[in-house]
Amino acid sequence: MSTREPLGIHMPEGVHLVGTAAAGGPTTEPGWRGPDFPAESNIAACIACGLCLPHCPTYRLTQEESASPRGRISAMRAVAEGRATPDSAFMRFMDLCLACRACEPVCPSGVRFGRMIENARAQVESLRKGIGGRLRALGLGFALPRRRALDAAAALTPLARLLLPKRIKRLLPHARVRDALTSLPSISEPCGEVRGTVALLSGCVQDRWFREVNRASIRVLTRSGWRVVAPKSQVCCGALSAHYGRLDHAREMARGNLAAFETADFVVANAAGCSAHMKEYGRLLEGEPSALAVADKVRDLMEFLADEGIEPPAANPGMRLVAYHDACHALQAQGIKDQPRKILSLIPGLEVVQIPHGETCCGAAGLYNVLEPTMAEQLGRAKAEAIVSTGAKVVASANPGCTMQIAAYLAGRGIEALHPVEILDRAYRP
């Protein structure tokens, strides 16, 4: 194993575990803690072929085996076989992962690494101490399931800009207080014949800091003949809690959404991380039939518009080139690539351009750009430079976390970051 410490990241002792326990290490009680742990079937499926390595952003930046999917699975295997325990070193292996799932499409064994990393993180959440651990618990366990707590957080964004460190402050979008004090309409009727009823996941970050994306989504869907409902009883989808090992909280939020969405023909999410997570409600709430029923209705917004069809816009919204950013949880987790490009290509005079190495994570990855700023900065700067190289003055991003990260590193470059549905909406309203 290389002994370098690239990007100023200290790789903890024991990271060289690849099939063997660290020599001379202290022996402790082996095995997993709690009910949520990586499935033996996934651990066994990994044949350590290494095909995932060149696709893993953290491995590409560090060249460290421990920062690769193969290395992380080796650490999981060591715990499962009783040769190691889920301790602070194990926690560090898992924390450095972006959970971007770029390894999944290229894995010949079909290893579901996204599920594994969530369950591995669930094993170490109890180890988090100090103010950092308390803040994670407050945000993931208390604020996300509660609409009023999120409303208060959005309303206090101007104050947060004065108090937070510069590296976090630059990521915050400019929320409008009135959006925190108002709600989306419960029902929005289409003009003309009704094709069906769509329930819109308003989301947590999306609705408080990117309300215009939800408004644009409603306008585009109703224009296409869909009745849109935004149930007041819905809560955060639970994706962030699941990604960071708070699976009990994620299940609580998922159950809250089952009743809210059970009567709709489709459930549409305009954030890639949310649609990817909700499609797995059946796994998260295994054995609960209603979870499978709702999961089967979930569609990512751009996927839905491409599959169901829209009225082609008649005008260009003042854009010639648009660079399309593929959010990891759209491209890697859901295989959504052509659909948003198909929709944008319907706009007269608009050309969708490819971003060099566009499949690489931008570094947002949920809370990663806050929790792992060194690695996230490397990825954010690389993504920004790649976007600038296209010559486009607009970048389309269908995930709020990506949009915040990209906008932060494009600041001062004269490039606007928009959700693709906002671009489509502008084309309908030139």
| pLDDT digit string, tens, across residues 191-207 | 889 999 999 999 998 99
DSSP conformation class of 139: I
pLDDT (average), residues 325-353:
98
**In the predicted model, is pLDDT for residue 251 greater than 70?**
yes
The answer to whether residue 240 sits within a structural domain is: yes
- The SS3 call for residue 337 is coil
Encode pLDDT of 219-240 as tens digits. Answer: 999 999 999 999 999 999 999 9
Asked, for residue 165, whether it belongs to a domain, the answer is yes
Give the distance between the most distant pair of CA atoms in the chain.
74
Of 177, 207, 238, which closes a domain? 177
Do 329 and 399 belong together in one domain? yes
pLDDT digits (tens, 9 = 90+) for 90-136: 999 999 999 999 999 999 999 999 999 999 999 998 888 776 666 77
- In a domain, residue 16? The reply is no
CA-derived radius of gyration, the chain: 22
**Predicted pLDDT at 30:** 52
Q: How much is the pLDDT for 180? A: 66
Average pLDDT on 59-85 reads 95
Domain that holds residue 42: 31-127
| pLDDT tops 70 at residue 70 | yes
Same structural domain for residues 322 and 301?
Answer: no
Cα–Cα distance, 61 to 118 (Å, whole number): 22
Contact 136, 124 (CB under 8 A): no
Q: What is the CATH number of the domain that holds 63?
A: 1.10.1060.10
DSSP labels for 48-113?
---TTGGG-HHHHHH--GGGSHHHHHHHHHHHHTTSS-S-HHHHHHHHT-----TTTTT-TT---H
Mean pLDDT across 49-66: 96
Find the range with the poorest average confidence among 25-29, 58-62, 321-325: 25-29
Same domain for 190 and 153: no
Does residue 109 sit within a domain? yes
- Indicate if the pLDDT at residue 18 is higher than 70: no
- The distance of Cα 15 from the centroid of its chain, to the nearest Å, equals 26
Q: Identify whether 1 is part of a domain.
A: no
Q: Is residue 198 part of a domain?
A: yes
What's the burial of 5, exposed, middle or buried (CB within 10 Å: 0-12/13-18/19+)?
exposed
Using pLDDT thresholds of 50, 70 and 90, give the confidence band for residue 172. confident
Q: Residue 34 — pLDDT band, cuts 50, 70, 90? A: confident
Question: What is the model's pLDDT at position 17?
Answer: 34
- The pLDDT value recorded for residue 126 is 82
Mean pLDDT of the chain: 89
Q: pLDDT band for position 357 (50/70/90)?
A: very high
Q: What is the per-residue pLDDT across 371-414, written as a single tens digit (0 to 9) for each?
A: 999 999 999 999 999 999 999 999 999 999 999 999 999 999 99
Instruction: Establish if 366 belongs to a structural domain.
Output: yes
Claim to verify: residue 333 and residue 298 sit in the same structural domain: no
CB burial string 111-134: b at 16+ within 10 A, e below: bbbbbbbbbbbbbbbeebeeeeee
* Whether residue 3 has pLDDT greater than 70: no
Domain tally, the chain: 4
For the segment 32-55, the average pLDDT, to the nearest whole number, is 95
Shared domain for 201 and 212, answered yes or no, is yes
Q: Are residues 75 and 141 in the same domain?
A: no
Q: How far apart are CA 16 and CA 64, in angstroms?
A: 9
Structural domain contains residue 152: yes
Select from 150, 177, 204 the last residue of a domain: 177
Whether the pLDDT of residue 24 is over 70: the answer is no
Supply the CATH number for residue 278's domain. Answer: 3.40.50
Distance CA 379, CA 365 (A): 11
The count of other CB atoms within 10 Å of the CB of residue 185 is 12
Taking the C-alpha atoms of residue 60 and residue 299, their distance in angstroms, rounded to an integer, is 32
For residue range 259-306, list pLDDT tens digits in order. 999 999 999 999 999 999 999 999 999 999 999 999 999 999 999 999
Are 284 and 361 in a shared domain? no
